[in-house]
Amino acid sequence: MKKICKLVSLFLFFISVSTYAVSETPKPVVKVGVLKWGTVNWELQTLLNKNLDDKNKYKLEVVGLGSKNAVATAFQGGEVDVIVTDYIWVNRQRADGANFTFVPHSFTVGGLIARSDSGIESVADLVGKKIGIAGGPVDKSWVILQAYAKEKLGIDLRDKVETVFAAPAVINEQMIEGKIDAVLNFWHYNARLKAAGMNEIISVKSVLKELDLNHKTPLLGWAFDKEWAEKNPDSITAFLDSSFQTKAILLNQLEIWEGLKKKMKADQDEVLFTTLRDAYRDGIVEEFTKDHALSASEVFSVMASIGGEKLVGSAKKLDPETFWEAYIE
């Protein structure tokens, strides 16, 4: 009898150990590289606050980095699995032999902001003015604006305006100090200028529309290595699912934004907070469809015609595999 009891106890012990081992199986980790102060952190913080990584059976690890180049380097070196970048960069890397791919993250891009005393009320008024541009001579917003001016107004902006290229914060500072007349900056820096009373002359969305291009073209997205995704399909799908779930929360639950004020650096300015929140929500991608890839190809052609090799590298067209079709609805 004692022997039977010992066997039963041993059996139950092994069952409990086995059950514990199963329950403690570590979840796959997805490392996302971001700028420490970047707006993508607003989504990722909400995702973590809502435990959406856990609910989707993976663990999100956010790796904060100090510059855009540091983010790209960490990604290319395999130190992180996913980053946010634009599809032009992904396509350029593919043309150079990388196997990166892309899923849309945001429609939000910049626009042309002018001082109220600048006399600028349209793109045509930029002639002879001084414009600050973040991102360099092949900044996507600058390239698209040039295409608009050339096609719709017959103006070559490169010859007709004085350009100042500098970091986003420096551009805004010069604008506020009156050293430049207008800016093309990243959307959240533009939002700060708008909150300070400056005027948006035209948004990149409107420019795309004027060029008969889909203004719902997602320039920014999640980039990752296609080979890694194929080896870890559950991990990348879980991450992307949780990302779209978080976007739905940020779009539909305004009260969630209250907890992000400090991270947005808008906890002391209600006008700025509202401007940033509404601009972010306006750019939220709710789904990923074939139309996104099609419109991106059309926009690519326009940007390549203006930006040339300095922008698109050796790529002649948009690689069909730049957008990760495995996740298209």
122 and 200 share one domain = yes
Half-sphere exposure for 105 (CA within 13 Å, toward CB): 24
69 and 197 share one domain = no
pLDDT at 329: 66
What is the number of structural domains in the chain? Answer: 2
Average pLDDT, the chain: 90
125 and 101 share one domain = no
CA-CA distance, 307 to 138, in Å (whole number)? Answer: 6
Question: Whole-prediction pTM value?
Answer: 0.88
101 and 151 share one domain = no
Environment class of 17 (CB within 10 Å of its CB; exposed 0-12, middle 13-18, buried 19+): exposed
pLDDT at 9 over 60: no
Domain boundary, last residue among 154, 175, 210: 210
137 and 205 share one domain = yes
Environment class of 114 (CB within 10 Å of its CB; exposed 0-12, middle 13-18, buried 19+): buried
pLDDT at 76: 96
pLDDT at 310 over 70: yes
Q: Is residue 5 part of a domain?
A: no
Specify which residues 23 forms β-bridges with.
none
pLDDT at 293: 87
Q: The tokens 């080896």 sit on which residue?
A: 231
Give the rounded distance of the alpha carbon of 80 from its chain centre. 16
pLDDT at 18 over 60: no
pLDDT at 17: 42
Q: Is residue 297 part of a domain?
A: yes
198 and 323 share one domain = no
Cβ–Cβ under 8 Å, residues 306 and 146: yes
Domain boundary, last residue among 210, 225, 246: 210
227 and 318 share one domain = yes
Q: Is residue 22 part of a domain?
A: no
100 and 34 share one domain = yes
User: SS3 of 63, please?
Assistant: strand
159 and 177 share one domain = yes
Which has the higher per-residue pLDDT, 110 or 1? 110
Nearest C-alpha neighbor of 151 from the set 88, 217, 207: 207
pLDDT tens digits, residue range 203-220? 998 999 999 988 788 899
190 and 231 share one domain = no
pLDDT tens digits, residue range 225-242? 999 999 999 999 999 999
Nearest C-alpha neighbor of 58 from the set 22, 20, 30: 30
pLDDT at 108: 80
Containing 229, the helix (H) or strand (E) segment is: helix 226-231
pLDDT at 11: 43
pLDDT tens digits, residue range 270-299? 999 999 999 999 999 988 888 888 889 999
CA-CA distance, 42 to 199, in Å (whole number)? Answer: 25
231 and 307 share one domain = yes
Across 249-265, average pLDDT: 96
Q: Is residue 12 part of a domain?
A: no
pLDDT at 21 over 60: no
Helix (H), strand (E) counts: the chain: 14, 10
Q: Is residue 139 part of a domain?
A: yes
- The residue segments making up the domain with residue 202 are 111-210
Please report which confidence band the pLDDT of residue 24 belongs to, taking 50, 70 and 90 as the band edges: low
Q: Is residue 15 part of a domain?
A: no
Q: DSSP string of 74-130?
A: HHHTTS-SEEEEEHHHHHHHHHTT--EEEEEEE----EEEE-TTS---SGGGGTT-E
CATH number, residue 223: 3.40.190.10
Q: Is residue 11 part of a domain?
A: no
99 and 221 share one domain = yes
Domain boundary, last residue among 210, 240, 272: 210
263-267 contacts, C-beta under 8 A, 24 or more apart? 263/41, 263/42, 263/45, 264/42
Q: Sign (positive/negative) of CA torsion 141, 147, 153, 157?
A: positive
The angle formed by the CA atoms of residues 188, 191 and 193, to the nearest 5 degrees, is 120
pLDDT tens digits, residue range 122-171? 999 999 999 999 988 989 999 999 999 999 999 999 999 999 999 999 99
